[in-house]
A and B are shown apart, each in its own frame.
Chain A
Amino acid sequence: MLLINCPYCGTRPELEFAYGGQAHVARPPDPALLEAQPWADFLYMRDNVRGVHAERWRHTHGCGRFFNALRDTTSDRFIATYRSGDAAPQAPADDTKVAP
């Protein structure tokens, strides 16, 4: 089980959290003006990164707040967690390597 560092509450077991998918996917300001493809891109297309992934988590059974995390999807190791609205921290160079 993963240990996740909630930026508001501290480190807690994975069971307290809900996964929220890729982070920094901005909702288009006026969906009614969009063509079908950009709307589908917003709804369905994801980077599905093999390597360092910026993603949302929610501390469902804690403070209830959303936050963001950088996690390496080839090892499941968390590199950083940060509050919603903050820019993603720079991942250290040795964490950006993709496992063979």
Chain B
Amino acid sequence: MQRFSALSLLGHALTGHRGWRPQWRRASPKASYDAVIIGGGGHGLGTAFYLASEHRLDKIAVLEKGWIGGGNTGRNTTIIRSNYLFDESAALYDHSLKLWEHLSQVLNYNVMLSQRGVMMLAHTVHDVQVIKRHVHANRANGVDNEWLSPEQAQQFCPPLNIADIRYPVLGAALQRRGGTARHDAVAWGYARAADALGVDIIENCEVTSIQRNAQGAVEAIQTTRGVIRTPRIGVAAAGNTSVIMKMAGVRLPLESYPLQALVSEPVKPVFPCVVMSNTMHAYISQSDKGELVIGAGTDAYTSYTQRGGLHISAHALEAVCELFPIFRRLRMLRNWGGIVDLTPDRSPIIARTPVPGLYVNCGWGTGGFKATPGSAHVFAWTIARDEPHPINAPFTIERFRDGHLIDEAAAAAVAH
């Protein structure tokens, strides 16, 4: 692996940047592996990286049906925060946020983490009560979050219109450690670091069936690029999890919905933070390229199309124009959809399954990007040791049978 440093950048600058090599190998599938991860997004690549770096597994492959980072890793709005209500969620997402804070150093790859602050707006008395409850719960869990008056909110984000709107801003919660990161860099950084540890990253390789032995345990995967034998399979396939798990005979409490986002034409830096409004149904930040990155809600119906109804995006834009009148004449550059897998309680599943050797990491719904490092870290632990890390122990499939739901209505800034 070519390591990045100020010195190496300078050296390559002097030679016209002609000496850079591909950052990871274009691997072909081998006949067998110790563990195979299905899904080459941030969660899957990160899992492979932690399996290799922390659990010292030798032969690991990541299978991706398209190109790495081309699913929800490349389709989200790159927001990072950990201000979740319940103890279980706060522990999981804050574990992730702590890993984010050192990720660029650990991977020797700049994931462009920018802790510019995430502000969640309250527009009604109910919002105020709910958000204040979140602030108190977060602080009791050691997660930073603070209550701002409308004026303080406007001071923190000057373009914000607090009074002259249908739902005036009554206050806001601010998590200063929250922010954004570069989504592609997360996939590429994990891929590069995992590849350097010997992980095979196999693109354009779609899983078509999963074979189980007489005891019921997984033994092989049929793919479009041949059969791969393995005793351990970790599934991190986001919206397509139900399809993969059905191949092993496992049914999950998941439904896949399109979630849309859009970006504007690039403009100079005008927007200093991330703002989310649950009631008005929009969230917004500005990328380092200058585009405003805007998130909309999910469509009403399940779908695998990776697109959604235009009226859903239009609804988010109306909210943005109301909250930030300076953006009213801005033009939109692109919009797209990703397929998110929602659980009934809006919390993920990171767990063993009833099938020996089969593990699943799914149900991230509308908020999986922020959890990438933490999710990958505890999922690798679960696969390597065949038991959950204490942090993901509550996130089982059986919680739906046993009634131990983790009912995170605040899993995203948009109401579900």
Q: Which A residues have a C-beta under 8 Å from some C-beta of B?
A: 1-2, 14-15, 17-19, 21, 36-37, 40-41, 43-48, 50, 53, 55, 71, 73-76, 99-100
Contact = CB atoms under 8 A, between A and B. Distances in A.
Contacts, number: 66
Interface of B: 206, 240, 242-243, 251-256, 300-305, 309-311, 341, 344, 400-403
Residue of A15, A45, A100 contacting most chain B CB atoms (<10 Å): A45
> Majority SS of interface residues in chain B?
loop
A41 B400 CA distance: 9
Residue of B253, B300, B301, B344 contacting most chain A CB atoms (<10 Å): B301
A2 B253 contact: no
15 contacts: A1-B309, A1-B310, A1-B311, A14-B311, A21-B255, A37-B401, A43-B400, A44-B344, A47-B251, A50-B243, A55-B301, A55-B302, A73-B302, A73-B303, A75-B305
Nearest to B403: A36
A40 B180 CA distance: 37
A18 B300 contact: yes
Contact of A50 (B206, B240, B402): B240
B270 to A, nearest CB: 32
A50 B239 CA distance: 10
A45 B304 CA distance: 18
A45 B344 CA distance: 9
B305 A74 contact: yes
A41 B252 CA distance: 9
Nearest to A13: B311
A2 B309 contact: yes
A75 B403 CA distance: 35
A15 B311 contact: yes
Contacts of B206: 100
B255 A43 contact: no
A19 B255 contact: no
Contacts of B243: 48, 50
Residue of A43, A50, A53, A55 contacting most chain B CB atoms (<10 Å): A50
Contact of A45 (B253, B309, B310): B253
A76 B305 CA distance: 7
Contacts of A75: 305
A46 to B, nearest CB: 5
Contact of B251 (A19, A45, A99): A45
Nearest to B309: A1
B209 to A, nearest CB: 13
Given A15-B311, A40-B400, A40-B401, A46 B303 contact: no
Contact of B304 (A1, A17, A43, A73): A73
B401 A48 contact: no
A46 B254 contact: yes
B300 A19 contact: yes
Contacts of B403: 36
B260 to A, nearest CB: 13
Given A14-B309, A44-B344, A76 B303 contact: yes
A38 to B, nearest CB: 9
